[in-house]
Amino acid sequence: MQSTLALNIPHGSVARSAYRIAWIDVVAGVRAVDIWGRLGWRETKRRYRRTAFGPFWTTVGLALFVTTLGLVWANLWHRDPKAYLPYLTSGMVCWVMFSTICLDGCVTFILAEKLLRQLRISYTLLACANVWRNGILFFHNLTIYVLICLYAGLPVTWATLLAIPGFALFFLNAVWITMLLGAVCARFRDVQQLCGTLLQISLFLTPIFWSPDQLTGRTALLAAINPLYYLIAVIREPLLGQAPPPSHWLIVILMAIIGWTLTIQMLTKFRPRIVYWL
């Protein structure tokens, strides 16, 4: 008989390998849509409780940021605001999602300490909740982009639909990023601070404000070897009405494969230890 403790994670007896439990953690966690969906919504609600606009407050802040910055920089760089604003906005909306997933990811397990000390629960489930919550926020923020597109008269094309597989790939990566950051930060609390710093720099080193074709010579590598560029491009390019080239898809798929392999390794080796680190 199998033990049916929270989310069907069997106990680590000698007979059951840690590797199998790592997989069960992932599969059971992802499948518990009901729970992580609920936890994600609840956290969103909690953060904006008793505010009139709820998550749209982030949207308002972001809207101010992109419109003012976009108009100034379009002038500085002599670019057409109607071309630059959609570019900047689509990039920023994706970047904000990515960076908050990372920052929240760092504390996902730490903040769930109470829960983790009470239940034998899938860590993947908590990571999914984190990604889902930031996904919800992203769709709130997307309203700015829609408004900017209306202003710029950007057409909706068939390529726009490619945003859907783009999201799927992005989320696939976001979950393992959360898992790894969550585990590492639980053990080494300094990593959280380091992450914040690195993310700040990455915003400028990743083609968000500027486009990769503006770079020449050696600096062009900044975009070419930057994984974050591709991760964001698979959502951003469809949003801008362009189909991403196959190489972009491939790189993001490769990232997912490498990332998940590492995550399974991490869970196999350290899953039983994480709760002791909290």
Partner 1 sequence: MAEIVLNNVVAEFPVYGTQPSFRNALFGRVVGGVLRRQNHHGKGIVVRALDHVSLTVHHGDQLGIIGHNGAGKSTLLRVFAGIYEPSQGTINIEGRVSPLFSTSPGLDPDDTGYENIVTCGLLLGMSRDEIERKLPEIEAFSELNDYLALPARTYSTGMLVRLGFAIATAIDPEILLLDEELGAGDARFAANAAKRVEGLIERSSIVVLASQSVELIRRICNRAILLDHGRVIADGPTRDILEIHNQMNKDGPASVTLPAATAAEPDHAAPATARAV
Closer by beta carbon to partner 1, 114 or else 218: 114
Closer by beta carbon to partner 1, 158 or else 276: 276
Phi, psi of 102 (to 5 degrees): -65, -50
Closer by beta carbon to partner 1, 42 or else 82: 42
Closer by beta carbon to partner 1, 169 or else 181: 181
- As measured in angstroms, the least distance from the Cβ of 264 to partner 1 is 18
Instruction: Say if residues 141 and 58 touch (Cβ distance below 8 Å).
Output: yes
- As measured in angstroms, the least distance from the Cβ of 21 to partner 1 is 10
- As measured in angstroms, the least distance from the Cβ of 127 to partner 1 is 16
- As measured in angstroms, the least distance from the Cβ of 167 to partner 1 is 25
Closer by beta carbon to partner 1, 106 or else 239: 106
Q: How far is CA 61 from CA 1, 68, 121, in A?
A: 54, 11, 36
Chain residues in the site for partner 1 (CB under 8 A): 1, 3-9, 11-14, 34-35, 38-39, 42, 45-46, 49, 114-121, 187-191, 272, 275-277
- As measured in angstroms, the least distance from the Cβ of 97 to partner 1 is 24
Instruction: Say if residues 215 and 222 touch (Cβ distance below 8 Å).
Output: yes
